Amino acid sequence: MPNPISYQVRNHIGVITLDNPPVNALSVGKGVLQGILDAIKEGEHDTDVRMFLLIGGGKNFSGGADITEFGKPPAPGMANLRDLLAYMDTVTKPMVAALSGPTMGGGLELALGTHYRVAIAGCQIGLPEVKLGILPGAGGTQRLPRLVGAKTAVAMITTGDPVDTDRAKVLGIVDEVVTGDLMAGALDYCKRLLKEGKPVRRTSALATAVDGDPDAFFTAERARIAKEFRGYPAPLECLACVEASVKLPFEDAMRFERQRFEVLVATTESKSLRHAFFAERAANKIDDVPEDTPVRQIRSAAVIGAGTMGGGIAMNFVNAGIPVKVLEATQERLDKGFDIIRNNYGATVAKGRLTQEAMDKRMGLLEGVLTYDQLKDADIIIEAVFEEMDVKKTVFREMDAVAKPGAILATNTSTLDIDEIAAVTARPGDVIGLHFFSPANVMRLLEIVRGAKTAHDVIATSMKLARTIKKVGVLVGVCDGFVGNRMVHAYFREAGFLIEEGALPQQVDRVMEEFGFAMGPFRVSDLAGLDIGWAIRKRQAATRNPAERYTAIGDRICELGRFGQKTGAGYYRYEPGNRKPIPDPEIEALIVQASKDAGIARRDISDQEILERCMYQLVNVGAQLLDERIAQRASDIDIVYLYGYGFPRFRGGPMFYADTVGLPAVAEAMARYAPIGPQWKPAALLAKLAAEGGRFNR
């Protein structure tokens, strides 16, 4: 194993270099921290050494803890970060940290344990632990406030958002910005410190500054954070630690931080957030498409259809600097689509989140076209026309006729069979589904749908493309609704059954919102519009199985012309210009009548039943998708829900949530609901894992 730390004395300066690629993770097991400790001890005894310089080899100072060591027992005989920092606080020779790039989490805690810091421009510096439901547990909540004051520390630690070098300099985290070569600049800085006889300056010996009355400050922050981060315990614990930095001696506050860290690590919320973090990485792994599969180059793109989805899809590409040609059926529709894109960017410019210059550059990468021959050079063509098989087939024949060899031909269909679409082309291996979610320029999820014949390098290229355009790609197989929509269909259907049996929309929505969704199913329906689903149901009426349970409530509501927010009324009513849903006695009467018409005696339905029935429908269909190998792994389904459906991250996703409840308990509840209908028959995988006491996510 190469030595992750090198030590060298240069002009009386003990230079300790971190060399643990790719991000200089502070691995305990690999001896990174022990190596730093040993080097410091060596330099302390060396009379030739007058100070220390700690510097990252490569483009990072340190990305923080080694995530592969999470949850594992500590390596015996090796120093951890807390041991090292405690020792550093006793060192009597000045120490400088030189930051060469990302300095995150434990990396920043390490840098804060030195006495002076220099950095090159553009470093990202922060304590992101809160995003994993924990807190910086090696003094980060104690040393950062002592350097930057309580207010800034609370903002940085409770959001986990980093600051850049310039800001870090203003805040006092960084003492000097180095231009040019970091090593040379840092050594010059050290020389100056020596010349000026600068002493050690322990962060732990400083006092945390608070503007005004500390009690008033922390009381107000507690109220704000409790509201802003509902469901997440870590931000409040971070705040409590910063408060401890004001009110307790350093050693006591460090013990407090440790204790709060231990509490947080054990919470379901933290386990869920860590699951989400690892699940996102796991989603990139595809069993039969190895990571070294060659990818095709995507330097230019084309989108067919400039409607709701096409416009948003095109924006993703130009945001990433990739030129896009957008093809429409008529100039008028093209103009309309471009107007919407322009207004979208204009709104971002108006909010100050994009410069006019950047907007102009992006608009300059877009070109509207009306004929297919103009798409012949595109590396990828994405179809986003009407959701009708015949239209799609016509478009794919045209795409096949003009696209250059090796171009990827993608469809944004939500429901149609990709294999059937691919079959009209002479190159089904180049065809893939790229299922964006609305609004396509905002939603992070991209379901990548592989057809039976999709080539491996087309899959690999699509997964890479997702990252290029800042999406989270999840590979799924062909079925009606793919992963996300097939599951959500069962969720909405069950919510409909619940109101038919005795609940009201406001009760169902409240329960799901208390669970953590931003909006319950009926508020979502009102927001999305009820008319599209109604039109689909009317079309399906002739072929619907009469033996299947069907709730007519949605149809009755649409028959009143109530299509949701856009008509001022749906499951709720709305005051003009206000999106607040107001429960409507007219709807309650309509629902009661619908139950009567269906011969259902209404009953009180508990909150628990609502939660279980909505959630376990998601879970059961998720398990079916695993049975059918439409989804590769349970954690992929969780990612689909976290990034495509606003599933609360602190619950980890529907499959992880089921794991936290315990699959035997889930199966037991499903057995209780079995008399309600066939949707409660457990999927084979769920039944098996429940019987074994197993989990979806291992």
Nearer to ligand NAD, 329 or 401 (CB): 329
Nearer to ligand NAD, 310 or 622 (CB): 310
Q: Out of 57, 307, 568, 583, which residue is the one contacting ligand NAD (CB under 6 A)? A: 307
Can you give 283-350 as a three-state secondary structure string?
CCCECCECCCCCCCCCCCEEEECCCHHHHHHHHHHHHCCCCEEEECCCHHHHHHHHHHHHHHHHHHHH
To the query of whether residue 129 is one of the catalytic residues in this protein, the response is yes
Nearer to ligand NAD, 328 or 509 (CB): 328
401 lines the binding site for ligand NAD (CB under 6 A): no
Residues 429-450: b if buried by 16+ CB within 10 A, e if exposed: ebbbbbbbbeebbebebbbbbb
Give the CB-nearest residue to ligand NAD: 307
Q: Report the distance separating Cα 545 and Cα 493, nearest Å.
A: 15
Q: Determine the residue type at 545.
A: N
Nearer to ligand NAD, 79 or 380 (CB): 380
Can you give 37-70 as a three-state secondary structure string?
HHHHHHHHHCCCCCEEEEEECCCCCECCCCHHHC
328 lines the binding site for ligand NAD (CB under 6 A): yes
Q: Report the distance separating Cα 84 and Cα 34, nearest Å.
A: 8
Report the half-sphere exposure of 474 (CA within 13 A, side-chain side).
Answer: 28
In the complex, least distance from residue 377 CB atom to ligand NAD, rounded to whole angstroms:
18
Nearer to ligand NAD, 6 or 308 (CB): 308
In the complex, least distance from residue 34 CB atom to ligand NAD, rounded to whole angstroms:
52
What x/- string results for residues 370 through 399 when contact with ligand NAD is judged by CB under 6 A? --------------xxxx---x---x----
Q: Report the distance separating Cα 1 and Cα 440, nearest Å.
A: 46
316 lines the binding site for ligand NAD (CB under 6 A): no
What x/- string results for residues 431 through 470 when contact with ligand NAD is judged by CB under 6 A? -----xxx--------------------------------
413 lines the binding site for ligand NAD (CB under 6 A): yes
Does a cis peptide bond (omega within 30 degrees of 0) precede residue 128?
Answer: no
- Write out the binding residues for ligand NAD, residues 51-70 only, by CB under 6 A: none
- Write out the binding residues for ligand NAD, residues 127-166 only, by CB under 6 A: none
In the complex, least distance from residue 455 CB atom to ligand NAD, rounded to whole angstroms:
23
In the complex, least distance from residue 654 CB atom to ligand NAD, rounded to whole angstroms:
20
Identify the residue whose tokens are 């069907």.
550
Q: Out of 306, 341, 474, 670, which residue is the one contacting ligand NAD (CB under 6 A)? A: 306
Q: Report the distance separating Cα 562 and Cα 530, nearest Å.
A: 8
Q: Which stretch binds ligand NAD (CB under 6 A): 133-141, 263-271, 300-308, 542-550?
A: 300-308
Q: Report the distance separating Cα 616 and Cα 672, nearest Å.
A: 12
Cβ contacts of 71-80, under 8 Å, gap ≥ 24: 71/274, 74/28, 75/28, 75/29, 78/28, 78/29, 78/31, 78/33, 78/34, 79/28, 79/33, 79/34, 79/37, 80/28, 80/33, 80/138
3-class SS of residue 154: helix
**Total number of residues binding ligand NAD (CB under 6 A)?**
23
Which token pair is 421? 């679409």
To the query of whether residue 196 is one of the catalytic residues in this protein, the response is no
Q: Which stretch binds ligand NAD (CB under 6 A): 95-103, 325-333, 652-660, 684-692?
A: 325-333
> Is residue 111 within 8 Å of residue 103, measured between CB atoms?
yes
Catalytic residue among 129, 237, 280, 328: 129
Catalytic residue among 109, 328, 383, 609: 109
> Is residue 614 within 8 Å of residue 521, measured between CB atoms?
yes
Nearer to ligand NAD, 356 or 438 (CB): 438
In the complex, least distance from residue 399 CB atom to ligand NAD, rounded to whole angstroms:
10
Nearer to ligand NAD, 485 or 679 (CB): 485
Catalytic residues: 109, 129
Q: Which residues bind ligand NAD (CB under 6 A)?
A: 304-310, 327-329, 333, 384-387, 391, 395, 412-414, 436-438
